[in-house]
């Protein structure tokens, strides 16, 4: 009987030990790399309703990483609220409109404990919303991600002043217009001869620079700005700030997309994928038919925010047909797209649509020269047989489609206020 009790006691102890070892093993296995973002405040991430660290444009955030291998290189990427993904190198070079810098992979080195901390600037080209930061160990394959929110700075509003700012579409007095509209800006009652700084806040919260103006002897100035098809549609705000007087005033403007009405009997379809849905690192095959034999066909793509990107003009064959394969990548947003084809001589216009879902960050290796870095959208194949035409000029080659936005520079020396400055010591 005692032998039985001792055996039973031993079995219980052995089973308990095994259970504890199993729990410990599972705990150790479940533990992985961790990415913690740090910011000066907190805000709600609209993607899942949770609270997340937050920060402001023209500020900084901190990245704290643990659980990687000792001294391993860690590849970092930032997923923007609209689904675009950029490396830290590319995220600092955004222009706020076309946003197609070479997406070079950016790595940081962990210390001997597999830990890493770095700080990164939030430029005013980062839209408001919830971001996902991702880190991947290049040797271990460990992956960690963290959330961060870019939120508007709290503001009590400008002090009362006599200054005024009006923005209206040229030829009218309407504060609204379509793509390609020229907006007249009229500022009044600033300090005589003072420099007036101006900037444009886009619908997603990103900011476009604008040349500083010099007020007249009575404190007035006049200027103009043209919205191209490359701009997203929505509510814009022009801001003018007197650098001497401190007077700050605003003027709203509503940008709308042009309406394209299909005409004629030509057809356009997404031939592949069959579901007319792809991912950011996928592509679509477009076929057009019943255009005039041999005519040029203008081709452009409308993004989810109604901004337009031109594609190389296609050439219909002797039967009035053409096809093209368009490659995409992670620098384009997720959502609903449309492609428009317009016969240059026949005037036949037709539209087809497709959806783009999330894709993983791939980026470009650092040893790839800028001229060879891929662009998107990119015509990879066409019935014309010259796929290279879809490369460097793919943003301004299409008939009746926009070219890349040219953002004017402010008056004075740029100093450390250049994209390259972040990577330059002492800036």
pLDDT digits (tens, 9 = 90+) for 245-260: 999 999 999 999 988 8
Of 277-281, 379-383, 403-407, the range with the lowest mean pLDDT is 403-407
Find out whether 418 and 123 touch, Cβ atoms under 8 Å.
no
pLDDT tens by residue, 52-86: 999 999 999 999 999 999 999 999 999 999 999 99
- Residue reference for tokens 């060879």: 372
Confidence band, pLDDT 50/70/90 cuts, at residue 103: very high
Query: Distance between CA 123 and CA 178 in Å, rounded?
Result: 28
For residue 271, cis peptide bond before it (omega within 30 degrees of 0): no
Query: Distance between CA 177 and CA 169 in Å, rounded?
Result: 6
Token pair of 305 as six digits = 């925010």
pLDDT tens by residue, 369-388: 777 777 788 888 888 765 44
**pLDDT higher for 385 or 283?**
283
pLDDT tens by residue, 147-174: 999 999 998 889 999 999 999 999 998 9
Please say whether the dihedral angle defined by the alpha carbons of residues 274, 334, 388 and 179, taken in this order, is positive or negative: positive
Number of Cβ within a 10 Å radius of residue 169 = 19
Confidence band, pLDDT 50/70/90 cuts, at residue 389: very low
Query: Distance between CA 58 and CA 70 in Å, rounded?
Result: 33
- Residue reference for tokens 């849905």: 277
DSSP state letter for 17: H
In this predicted structure, the answer to whether residue 367 has a pLDDT above a threshold of 50 is yes
In the sheet where 308-315 sits, what is the strand order?
Answer: 277-279, 349-357, 335-343, 296-302, 308-315
Number of Cβ within a 10 Å radius of residue 344 = 17
In this predicted structure, the answer to whether residue 119 has a pLDDT above a threshold of 60 is yes
* H or E element at residue 271: strand 267-272
Query: Distance between CA 219 and CA 238 in Å, rounded?
Result: 18
Of 24-33, 145-154, 418-427, the range with the lowest mean pLDDT is 418-427
Query: Distance between CA 163 and CA 221 in Å, rounded?
Result: 11
Token pair of 56 as six digits = 């402001």
Query: Distance between CA 379 and CA 310 in Å, rounded?
Result: 11
Q: What is the mean pLDDT of the chain?
A: 85
**SS3 assignment, position 422:** helix
Token pair of 184 as six digits = 């007249």
Confidence band, pLDDT 50/70/90 cuts, at residue 22: very low
DSSP state letter for 420: G
The alpha-helical segments, DSSP class H, found in 229-269 are: none
Query: Distance between CA 310 and CA 329 in Å, rounded?
Result: 16
């Amino acid at each position: 009987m005692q032998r039985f009790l001792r055996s039973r006691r031993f079995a219980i102890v052995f089973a308990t030990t095994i259970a504890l070892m199993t729990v410990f093993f599972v705990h150790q296995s479940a533990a992985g790399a961790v990415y913690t973002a740090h910011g000066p405040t907190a805000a709600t991430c609209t993607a899942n309703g949770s609270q997340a660290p937050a920060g402001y444009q023209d500020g900084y955030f901190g990245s704290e990483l643990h659980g990687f291998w000792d001294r391993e290189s860690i590849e970092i990427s930032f997923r923007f609220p609209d689904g675009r993904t950029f490396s830290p190198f590319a995220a600092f070079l955004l222009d706020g409109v076309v946003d197609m810098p070479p997406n070079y992979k950016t790595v940081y080195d962990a210390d001997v404990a597999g830990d890493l901390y770095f700080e990164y600037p939030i430029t005013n080209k980062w839209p408001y919303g919830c971001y996902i930061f991702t880190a991947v160990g290049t040797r271990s394959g460990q992956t960690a991600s963290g959330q961060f929110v870019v939120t508007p700075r709290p503001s009590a509003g400008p002090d009362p002043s006599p200054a005024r700012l009006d923005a209206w579409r040229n030829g009218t007095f309407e504060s609204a217009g379509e793509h390609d509209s020229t907006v007249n800006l009229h500022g009044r009652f600033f300090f005589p001869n003072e420099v007036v700084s101006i900037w444009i806040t886009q619908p997603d919260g990103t900011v476009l620079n604008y040349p500083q103006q010099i007020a007249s002897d009575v404190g007035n100035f006049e200027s103009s700005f043209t919205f191209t098809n490359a701009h997203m549609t929505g509510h814009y705000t022009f801001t003018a700030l007197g650098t001497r007087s401190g007077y700050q005033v605003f003027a709203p403007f509503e940008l709308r997309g042009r309406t394209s009405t299909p005409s004629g009997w030509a057809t356009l379809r997404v031939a592949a994928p069959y579901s007319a849905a792809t991912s950011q690192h996928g592509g679509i095959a477009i076929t057009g038919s019943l255009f005039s034999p041999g005519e040029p066909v203008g081709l452009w793509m409308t993004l989810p925010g109604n901004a337009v990107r031109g594609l190389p003009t296609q050439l219909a064959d002797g039967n009035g047909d053409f096809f093209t394969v368009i490659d995409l990548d992670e620098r384009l947003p997720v959502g609903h797209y449309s492609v428009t084809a317009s016969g240059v001589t026949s005037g036949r216009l037709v539209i087809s649509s497709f959806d783009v879902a999330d894709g993983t960050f791939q980026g470009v290796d650092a040893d790839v020269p800028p001229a060879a870095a891929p662009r998107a959208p990119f015509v990879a194949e066409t019935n014309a047989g010259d796929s290279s035409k879809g490369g460097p000029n793919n943003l301004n080659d299409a008939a009746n489609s926009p070219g890349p936005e040219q953002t004017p520079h402010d008056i004075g020396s740029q100093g450390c206020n250049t994209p390259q400055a972040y990577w330059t010591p002492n800036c």
